[in-house]
Amino acid sequence: MVDLTRALAGPQATMMLADLGARVIKVEAAAGDDSRHWGPPFVGDDEVSTYFLSCNRNKESVTADLKSTEGRTLLEALVQRADVLVENFRPGVLDRLGFSLDTLHQLNPRLVVCSLTGFGHDGPEGQRPGYDQIAQGEAGLMSLTGEPDAPTKVGVAIGDLLAGMNAAYGIAAALFEREHTGRGRVVRTSLLASIVGIHAFQGTRHTVAGLVPGGEGNHHPSIAPYGLFETEDAPIQIACGNDAIWRRLCGVLDLVADDPVVATNADRVANRRQLTAVLNERLRYGPAEHWLRLLDDAGVPAGRVRTLDEVYAWEQTRSQGLLVDVEHPTLGHLQLPGPALRFDDNAYAGARAAHVHPPLLGEHNDTVRTWLGLTPAAADTTDMKEEA
């Protein structure tokens, strides 16, 4: 895979496929991927960005100026050998660099090209630069998150991450199709498409029911009780997905399950403020651990709200392989958040037995050029900063 992406959406896509065994060659400007400079926090004497470490494991890095003869020669050689090229330039940039889709497929008819943009490759606003928080607002997600009249972004760059996931499965589908057709195709996604694509029940609340949903805080708009509740010492979450669970919750809290005000889910949603107040009042008579134990014994889905240090120390997290160990050339031993997929007996043919550190900038300049039959040389200087 030739990875011309930077920041998060594209690097997330290529990292997901690198985790599954793809060889990913990341082509960077002389200054490196933008995310190498995003911090603090930075770690080590060379001030390595923890942001960059989060989305670039299992890749090789070469530096090149794609506007130079040497850079274009390098990219042409990579394209001729590649299965996939991934880019997140603004629409038209790759054409101006001399690598239009027609040119890419003349060089390699089997090449799958994946393009990630902010708002789509065409349409009246297709040229807009794509940054996650802008897309969260424009695509409606912030209007659904947080308290009423207080639009709130999600705590991670969810538009970028979703676009990366969509790109990865689109690439996998195109590679599968290529086994039958012998030809590559173009896969496109965007931050806008990826966020609108997960509106789910909030979307149909508008498109079908004609409502305009807003922020609901930490409670569900269509299920109750389903949200965050206060105990004596810490908040807990409770999810009553059906009436049977509701009745079990009532048994724990000594409530009347068949009270007409709260007998059905529709009743409970209609009277959610009153219901939430009653539950909070009951739960404040004991600490979180007490209630979580009773709810678990009764078969009521519930949980605490963990901080990230608690999540990564949690044995359940570790049991799922969600932390991976790598040895970094300058930072030494690192633990990184790991891939979400597991395969039976870890026997998937392409899965990595061990993960490789996110690369130093230009770490593979000579080895990649030698593999391509090019003369190893110091990378060109460049300013390859056309936003997604």
Chain position carrying tokens 């086994």: 179
Strands 332-337 and 235-239: unpaired
Taking the alpha carbons at both ends of the chain, their separation in whole angstroms is 19
Spatial distance between the Cα atoms of 135 and 146, rounded to a whole number of angstroms: 17
DSSP 3-state assignment of 131? coil
Q: What is the CA radius of gyration of the chain?
A: 25
How many CB atoms within 10 Å of residue 156?
11
Ranges assigned E (strand) in the chain:
2-3, 24-28, 42-43, 48-49, 59-63, 84-87, 112-117, 186-190, 226-230, 235-239, 302-304, 323-328, 332-337
- What secondary structure does DSSP assign to 233-302, as a single string? SSEEEEE--SHHHHHHHHHHHT--TT-TTTSSHHHHHHTHHHHHHHHHHHHTTS-HHHHHHHHHHHT--E
Catalytic residue among 95, 160, 258, 380: 160
Helix (H, G, I), strand (E, B) or coil at 108: coil
Clarify whether 160 is annotated catalytic.
yes
Total Cβ atoms within 10 A of residue 278: 16
Residues annotated as catalytic (active site), given as ranges: 160
